Amino acid sequence: KQEVTQIPAALSVPEGENLVLNCSFTDSAIYNLQWFRQDPGKGLTSLLLIQSSQREQTSGRLNASLDKSSGRSTLYIAASQPGDSATYLCAVIGGSTLGRLYFGRGTQLTVWP
Amino acid sequence: DTGVSQDPRHKITKRGQNVTFRCDPISEHNRLYWYRQTLGQGPEFLTYFQNEAQLEKSRLLSDRFSAERPKGSFSTLEIQRTEQGDSAMYLCASSRAGQGAEAFFGQGTRLTVV
């Protein structure tokens, strides 16, 4: 069974810092990896999708990398802002299931002014 | 708004009552998923449809839970004889067909069983 782990569980930083959130997964047979943002009491917003053949994706201040063979992904947030405060979830779609996403528990990020 | 839509956003019910939630996926998406999320946890898979066919169900989906997608468009998730342990956020997602297609989530339905 696919297991997804996110480290750290929580992170509190001052505004302006560059951040790295980590995600690891146990089964490297994945189709893609997706990073989401979740605000309190809300649904999930897709941030970045990395196909298994890709190494990284960028969107604005966000950059996600994927090392499929080692079962790792990182989400890099540049020049963090208070509006980035949220929970960030990593999810993978495995090769043995028809599109089911396996999620980590998330990293709760607080960026203070 | 062409995103995934869920209704209601919040539901408070007494233990033992039945509840039904609705999800309207993005119109051109033929895959639809239901997930459940409890506080401090990541979403857990419940079930998955491709068009009107329910292709996969989690062991989390007990006999009290049933999901339908009768015409391959909107879906409903019904919970019978609710228990306090059913209190959670119920999330719906949709995607196109194809390996590794991007999933888009709705705002969720927050269920509280009292």
- Kindly tell me if the per-residue pLDDT of A97 is higher than 70: no
Residues of B in contact with A46 (CB under 8 A): 102-105
Task: Give Cβ neighbours of residue A60 (< 8 Å, ≥ 6 apart).
Answer: none
Picking from B31, B104, B105, the nearest residue to A99 by CB comes out as B31
Position B2 scores a pLDDT of 75
- Helix, coil or strand: residue B25: coil
- The proportion of chain A whose per-residue pLDDT surpasses 70, expressed as a percent, equals 96
- Pick the closest to residue B20 from B99, B77, B80 (CA basis): B77
| Region of residue A69 (phi > 0: left; psi between -120 and 50: alpha; otherwise: beta) | alpha
Position A96 scores a pLDDT of 62
d(CA A33, CA A30) in angstroms, rounded, equals 8
B48-93: pLDDT as tens digits: 999 999 988 888 788 999 999 998 899 999 999 999 999 999 999 9
Position B98 scores a pLDDT of 78
Q: What pLDDT band is residue B1 in, cutting at 50, 70 and 90? A: low
Indicate the average pLDDT of chain B: 93
Picking from B6, B89, B100, the nearest residue to A32 by CB comes out as B100
B56 and A100 in contact by Cβ < 8 A? yes
- Pick the closest to residue B15 from B63, B62, B64 (CA basis): B64
- Pick the closest to residue B90 from B18, B31, B7 (CA basis): B7
A70-94: pLDDT as tens digits: 999 999 999 999 999 999 999 998 7
Q: What pLDDT band is residue B94 in, cutting at 50, 70 and 90? A: very high
Name the residue in chain A with its Cα closest to that of B4. A43
Q: How many CB pairs under 8 A join A and B?
A: 70
Place of tokens 């997930």: B35
Picking from B48, B106, B110, the nearest residue to A99 by CB comes out as B48
A44 and B91 in contact by Cβ < 8 A? yes
CB burial string A19-45: b at 16+ within 10 A, e below = bebebbbeebebbbbbbbbbeeebbbb
Position B71 scores a pLDDT of 87
Q: Report the residue count for chain B.
A: 114
A99 and B95 in contact by Cβ < 8 A? yes
CA-to-CA dists, residue A79 to A7, A84, A91, B23, angstroms? 20, 10, 24, 36
A12-50: pLDDT as tens digits: 999 999 999 999 999 888 889 999 999 998 999 999 999
Residues of A in contact with B102 (CB under 8 A): 32, 34, 46, 49
Q: Choosing among B41, B105, B107, B112, which should be mutated to test the A contact, i.e. which has the most A CBs within 10 A?
A: B105
- Kindly tell me if the per-residue pLDDT of B10 is higher than 90: yes
d(CA B1, CA B53) in angstroms, rounded, equals 26
Residues of A in contact with B45 (CB under 8 A): 100-102
d(CA B41, CA A96) in angstroms, rounded, equals 23
- Kindly tell me if the per-residue pLDDT of A98 is higher than 80: no
Q: What pLDDT band is residue A57 in, cutting at 50, 70 and 90? A: very high
Place of tokens 């006999």: B63
What token pair was written down for B14? 């007494």
- Helix, coil or strand: residue B85: helix
A80 versus B99: the higher-pLDDT residue is A80
B105 and A44 in contact by Cβ < 8 A? yes
What's the average model confidence in pLDDT over A52-70?
94
